[in-house]
Amino acid sequence: DAGITQSPRHKVTETGTPVTLRCHQTENHRYMYWYRQDPGHGLRLIHYSYGVKDTDKGEVSDGYSVSRSKTEDFLLTLESATSSQTSVYFCAISESRQGDGYTFGSGTRLTVV
Amino acid sequence: SQKIEQNSEALNIQEGKTATLTCNYTNYSPAYLQWYRQDPGRGPVFLLLIRENEKEKRKERLKVTFDTTLKQSLFHITASQPADSATYLCALGTTAAGNKLTFGGGTRVLVKP
């Protein structure tokens, strides 16, 4: 996980509250991604970013928003948390060449009660 | 719809033997395929990349094949060791911008001494 950190590592929140997860990188990589991992579904892309202020949706983006105001930080916000958003969230980074492997963070385990 | 399938059943194997994992996909035309290792409570770690015009790639005790006709990749761990016990994920990428990956659900490998 060198060069990429996620915070917090664990969080319990109540239904209907906003939640922001942070991903910070020190590698100066162009691309950043947010995935969620659930049993039976594997890793699913929520949102990704290809540069400062440049973001796009992934396959499961409903209920989530992102922001990237600096190269090193990519924030994921759950506007109004629901129990279906209980999951493990992973941030990943990659350089800009097609096929470059991802470096993942250690994940954030989010529980919505 | 696009689908990536990995054997959801755990693979139990004796130390020293070769573990072979499969990754099958449908309705997808990947430009490249990657394999990752994931340990419990950790983020995935990139292992190998193979592109659509390559048949085979090796890295130490790991070997990956890619058959675009069969729409299948095989991942081999030769001379397996207990330390190889983990979940292994395949991921497919296309030529679309963003170096986005779609992941399979993973196969757990347990190497017994």
For chain B, state the CA radius of gyration.
14
Distance from CA of B32 to the nearest CA of A (A): 6
A and B: number of Cβ contacts within 8 A: 65
**Do A111 and A56 touch, CB atoms closer than 8 A?**
no
All residues of chain B having their beta carbon less than 8 Å from the beta carbon of residue A105 are 43
Distance CA B81, CA B77 (A): 9
The pLDDT value recorded for residue B99 is 85
Return averaged pLDDT per consecutive 10 residues of chain A, 113 residues in all. 89 98 96 94 94 94 97 97 98 89 97 98
Ranges of chain B with pLDDT below 70 = none
Is B38 strand, coil or helix? strand
Contact B34 A31 (CB under 8 A): no
In degrees and rounded to multiples of 5, residue A13 shows phi and psi of: -140, 165
pLDDT at residue number A10: 98
Please give the pLDDT value at position A96: 77
Q: How many CB atoms lie within 10 A of CB B23?
A: 25
Give the pLDDT confidence of A68-86 residue by residue, as tens digits.
999 999 999 999 999 999 9
Query: Rounded to an integer, what distance in angstroms lies between the CA atom of residue A49 and that of residue A32?
Result: 5
